Structure 1
Amino acid sequence: MPTLGFLKKKRTKDSGSRDLDAPTSPIKESSGSPTTSRTSGSFHLHKTKTGDSLTNTTSNTTTSNTTSNTTTASTSNANANTTPNGSHHPVDSMHATSTPQQHTPSHTVPSIQNLIHASNAAPPRNGAGTVQFHTQPLNQARVTKGKYTLTDFAMQRTLGTGSFGRVHLVQSKHNQRFYAVKVLKKAQVVKMKQVEHTNDERRMLQQVKHPFLITLWGTFQDSKNLYMVMDFVEGGELFSLLRKSQRFPNPVAKFYAAEVTLALDYLHSHNIIYRDLKPENLLLDRHGHLKITDFGFAKEVPDITWTLCGTPDYLAPEVVASKGYNKSVDWWSLGILIFEMLCGFTPFWDGGSPMKIYENILKSRVKYPPYIHPDAHDLLQKLITPDLTKRLGNLHGGSKDVMNHPWFAEVTWDRLSKKDIDAPYVPPVRAGVGDASQFDKYPEETEAYGQAGDDPCVKSPPYTVEHILTCPNSHGHLFPDF
């Protein structure tokens, strides 16, 4: 059985309907399976092992076999919700690792062949026949503050732990659905100087809405903790699937890379840089589609920024060199992700030493294994380049240059954006029952939540100096939006 799972949406074709059900909406079915994440630069969850592999799932044929066995359950439970996401610990303690996974839905639509027509004539390789993808408008800030309290949920179990707290599987007492609640300890967030990143995470998640991004339903706080209510994504982390499979076949890596590309295209169109792309932050829903989670390092940047954050293996050279950088760092990270999916390791890894990794990144010398497809090789060279005047995604065509690259020639972008394509792997989870089998088990929290009563500093501004200095817990004023 796979292990890690985090936050994901509903089934392949129902890309919008089930996402509309908030924890306090009428009783309906529920679904679940959260995940953990590897070490990076924010609140990280410890990874676990996966039981299913893609070793023999090469090419488009395996997908149909996997689909036939698992789609029935997935389809019948399409009404279930998804899970939450985890975040990482601060940049000071960044580590590197990775994990991928995949999914498959049912329907009359052919499996992964809808995405990659291996045996048929492929579309033109020059972008001339590429579907123009229309960016979805950025939602106005959704109402996600103060809607819920601890009494709205029944705690089930811990899904993952990290430097700031942990993620719990919970069940809504109102609609009986399952969600993931990330609990962050205020004192730890402050101590590790992650106040700005934590507030940014909440702000970014409040604004975005996309099929391949995690959904934040609401936030609240008590005297000691911050709470973020998110989808319960039951299929686990892509990291777990990748480690189990060692490396992905070319079509499988292409499927996941394409969904990530659509998500980055959406974020960048709204001036949001993600800055922490890696397999640990990619969750699989029960149909095998991706959800990007952990927005702890996401930031709205119209032009450039200088913050050093992320996971060592995935950092662009301009970030390592402490230069100003822009959205192009996400395209560099996409190149590292594709390389890791195809090879099973990152190009600059060197015994796990961050300093050696940084040295290798600055040299930017990549050795490509001979089994990498020529088109993939060409794309990687154009993404993993320190020359910003040549890096795809940073040129005049923006993200469309990446989407129009020959490696993605067979991708039907508009259908993929609607999840109208079967995924190459469907996680073995039972939908709607809070199935957390894809997650490791952890000792439960010993300190009861909400016991200390209301934090005086959570009350509405204005805050006086005297009030902040005399407040028994003066962290509340640092998180006014929770």
Structure 2
Amino acid sequence: MASAVVHKILHHNHSNRESSPQQNHSSPAPQEDQELPTMERAYEEEKIKLAQWEDLKRPLSPGQIAVDANKKLVENSSCVLRQQDFELIKTLGTGTFARVWLVRLANPKDGDQNKVFALKILRKVDVIRLKQVEHVRNERNVLAAVAGHPFITTMVASFQDTDSLYMLLDYCPGGEVFSYLRRARRFNEPTSQFYAAEIVLILEFLHEKEGVAYRDLKPENILIDAEGHLKLVDFGFAKKVDNRETYTLCGTPEYLAPEVIRNTGHGCAVDWWAFGILVYEFLVGQPPFWDQNPMKIYEQIVEGRVRYPSAMTPDARDLISGLCTVDTSKRLGNIKGGAGAVKSHPWFRNIDWDALYHRKVQGPIVPHLRGPADTRNFDEYEPEPEGREKYSSEMRERWDECFRDF
């Protein structure tokens, strides 16, 4: 297995870094000569695996995702991959400390020219300056743990170099659900039910199998893949909480749960509140709590009074009111039955959950694509600014240990 070889290389490289300068300038030991072909072999195996992974991928059952974590073709931390192994095609998105590129394999073999990925590049300097080290580590480790879920972006590999961290992800050419929602103004009920049901399956898995709170559910973080199914992306705020409470203020104002605003401690229940807001936005076209002043939004959320349009069906109202309940002990999804209570709600009566999980149900929106590298569903972005701060030796000495998971 390539992973075993990579582990051996990683250990070898670590030993080299700890050797003295005098040793480094001496003649190579016979053992080092023997390792070189091993490194080359690991590098070739890694590239072959990247070219093959999409052909071999399939949805794993929730149990298999955890049990077969070491046998999966993806989610490994690679010490042999480099940015130069990929051709950067176009920026797909930017954030305060990250940029996501559409990439293809550099110098691909015959038949691999159209195999593309999304490469998330995070500059270490920015991650440290913006105090995002823990969030970035959480994102990488959560994505590794959940690789194989049919509706969560797949982290194919992670790696790093002197200045940056990299996460290689599957590419979703359909773009953001947010864009489709704005064009349509609102989704009809069957479309809303389909997307909402796939999100229920995501939250059920994250909460009940992994103990992870996602904490940033919103249309901008949900992409549509080539077959019309959802993929949840951007796990920067995701955190393994299990049954503990956490206090970090994070998320998007319109989607924050009351307990986050009050800073009374929160857990996975925040995702069910946000899910209620999301269903409302699907059906109405805008979230229930909104104001130009974020403080006014927070006041509305803490009050928790949702106003429903007269055209909304009683089942939809009942579902949203159960989810957007200020008291977490009474919130649907967080009460007895967990996600099962959400799945059995009358609004989802027509959903075949097993068929949906195995992607046997046709998505309501299947993107029209010219090919695997089609980017028409993504906006244009400014190029990266030049002359940015370098990752200094002092930073490296202090922070490199924090990035060892990459």
Band of TM-score, shorter chain:
0.7 to 0.9
Q: How many Å apart are 1:26 and its aligned residue?
A: 7.2
**Separation in 2 of the partners of 1:164 and 1:172?**
24
After superposition, the C-alpha distances for 1:205-227 in whole angstroms (9 at most, x for unaligned) are: 11103000001111222222211
Could you say if the C-alpha distance between residues 438 and 406 of structure 1 is closer, same or farther in structure 2, counting changes exceeding 3 Å? Answer: same
* Alignment of structure 1 residues 414-429 onto 2, 5 Å: 414-429=354-369
Q: Which residue of 1 aligns with 2:29?
A: none
Could you say if the C-alpha distance between residues 419 and 472 of structure 1 is closer, same or farther in structure 2, counting changes exceeding 3 Å? Answer: closer
Q: How many Å apart are 1:172 and its aligned residue?
A: 1.2
Does the aligned pair in 2 maintain the 1:382–1:392 contact within 8 Å? yes
Q: Which residue of 1 aligns with 2:258?
A: 317
After superposition, the C-alpha distances for 1:37-85 in whole angstroms (9 at most, x for unaligned) are: xxxxxxxxxxxxxxxxxxxxxxxxxxxxxxxxxxxxxxxxxx699xxxx
**Separation in 2 of the partners of 1:22 and 1:211?**
23
**Separation in 1 of the partners of 2:52 and 2:396?**
41
Does the aligned pair in 2 maintain the 1:146–1:218 contact within 8 Å? no
Pair 1:274-2:191 in alignment: no
* Alignment of structure 1 residues 145-294 onto 2, 5 Å: 145-173=78-106, 174=108, 175-176=112-113, 177-209=115-147, 210-269=149-208, 270-294=210-234
Matched letter for residue 255 of structure 2: Y
Pair 1:343-2:284 in alignment: yes
Moved more, 162-171 or 248-257: 162-171
Q: How many Å apart are 1:305 and its aligned residue?
A: 1.5
Higher relative contact order (CA 8 A, sep 6+): 1
Does the aligned pair in 2 maintain the 1:205–1:216 contact within 8 Å? yes
Q: Which residue of 2 aligns with 1:356?
A: 296
Could you say if the C-alpha distance between residues 148 and 382 of structure 1 is closer, same or farther in structure 2, counting changes exceeding 3 Å? Answer: same
Does the aligned pair in 2 maintain the 1:158–1:169 contact within 8 Å? yes
Q: Which residue of 2 aligns with 1:50?
A: none
Could you say if the C-alpha distance between residues 23 and 385 of structure 1 is closer, same or farther in structure 2, counting changes exceeding 3 Å? Answer: farther
Moved more, 471-480 or 194-203: 471-480
Does the aligned pair in 2 maintain the 1:145–1:481 contact within 8 Å? no
**Separation in 2 of the partners of 1:287 and 1:401?**
28
Q: Percent identity?
A: 45
What is the count of residue pairs matched by the alignment?
346
Q: Which residue of 2 aligns with 1:326?
A: 267
Matched letter for residue 137 of structure 2: N
Pair 1:403-2:324 in alignment: no
After superposition, the C-alpha distances for 1:151-175 in whole angstroms (9 at most, x for unaligned) are: 2111112112221131111101344
Does the aligned pair in 1 maintain the 2:246–2:266 contact within 8 Å? yes
After superposition, the C-alpha distances for 1:402-458 in whole angstroms (9 at most, x for unaligned) are: 0000000110000000110111111121233x1111111223335499xx8xx797x
Could you say if the C-alpha distance between residues 406 and 136 of structure 1 is closer, same or farther in structure 2, counting changes exceeding 3 Å? Answer: farther
* Alignment of structure 1 residues 105-144 onto 2, 5 Å: 137-138=65-66, 139-140=68-69, 142-144=75-77
Could you say if the C-alpha distance between residues 472 and 285 of structure 1 is closer, same or farther in structure 2, counting changes exceeding 3 Å? Answer: closer
Could you say if the C-alpha distance between residues 355 and 145 of structure 1 is closer, same or farther in structure 2, counting changes exceeding 3 Å? Answer: farther
**Separation in 2 of the partners of 1:400 and 1:250?**
21
Q: Which residue of 2 aligns with 1:440?
A: 379
Q: Which residue of 1 aligns with 2:402?
A: 478
Q: How many Å apart are 1:228 and its aligned residue?
A: 1.1
Q: How many Å apart are 1:308 and its aligned residue?
A: 1.2
**Separation in 1 of the partners of 2:392 and 2:159?**
14
Secondary structure at the counterpart of residue 240 of structure 1: helix
Does the aligned pair in 1 maintain the 2:77–2:405 contact within 8 Å? no
Point out where structure 1 has 5 or more consecutive residues left out of the alignment.
Answer: 1-20, 31-78, 82-132, 458-468
Point out where structure 2 has 5 or more consecutive residues left out of the alignment.
Answer: 1-44
Secondary structure at the counterpart of residue 333 of structure 1: helix
Q: How many Å apart are 1:345 and its aligned residue?
A: 0.6
**Separation in 2 of the partners of 1:259 and 1:386?**
24
**Separation in 1 of the partners of 2:231 and 2:261?**
27
Q: How many Å apart are 1:25 and its aligned residue?
A: 2.8
Matched letter for residue 79 of structure 2: G
Larger Rg: 2
Q: Which residue of 2 aligns with 1:121?
A: none
Could you say if the C-alpha distance between residues 382 and 152 of structure 1 is closer, same or farther in structure 2, counting changes exceeding 3 Å? Answer: same
Moved more, 133-142 or 401-410: 133-142
Q: Which residue of 1 aligns with 2:49?
A: 25
**Separation in 2 of the partners of 1:339 and 1:273?**
21
Could you say if the C-alpha distance between residues 477 and 424 of structure 1 is closer, same or farther in structure 2, counting changes exceeding 3 Å? Answer: same
Q: How many Å apart are 1:356 and its aligned residue?
A: 1.1
Q: How many Å apart are 1:481 and its aligned residue?
A: 1.2
**Separation in 2 of the partners of 1:181 and 1:221?**
12
* Alignment of structure 1 residues 446-457 onto 2, 5 Å: 447=386
With the length of structure 2 as denominator, give the TM-score of the two structures.
0.79
Matched letter for residue 391 of structure 1: R
Name the one with the larger helix percent: 2
Q: How many Å apart are 1:28 and its aligned residue?
A: 6.6
After superposition, the C-alpha distances for 1:83-115 in whole angstroms (9 at most, x for unaligned) are: xxxxxxxxxxxxxxxxxxxxxxxxxxxxxxxxx
Does the aligned pair in 1 maintain the 2:65–2:146 contact within 8 Å? no
Q: Which residue of 2 aligns with 1:381?
A: 321
Q: How many Å apart are 1:476 and its aligned residue?
A: 2.9
**Separation in 2 of the partners of 1:410 and 1:307?**
38
Does the aligned pair in 2 maintain the 1:213–1:291 contact within 8 Å? yes
Could you say if the C-alpha distance between residues 23 and 409 of structure 1 is closer, same or farther in structure 2, counting changes exceeding 3 Å? Answer: farther
Q: How many Å apart are 1:264 and its aligned residue?
A: 0.7
Quote the RMSD (CA, aligned, Å): 2.6
With the length of structure 1 as denominator, give the TM-score of the two structures.
0.67
Matched letter for residue 98 of structure 2: G
Moved more, 256-265 or 139-148: 139-148
Matched letter for residue 204 of structure 1: V
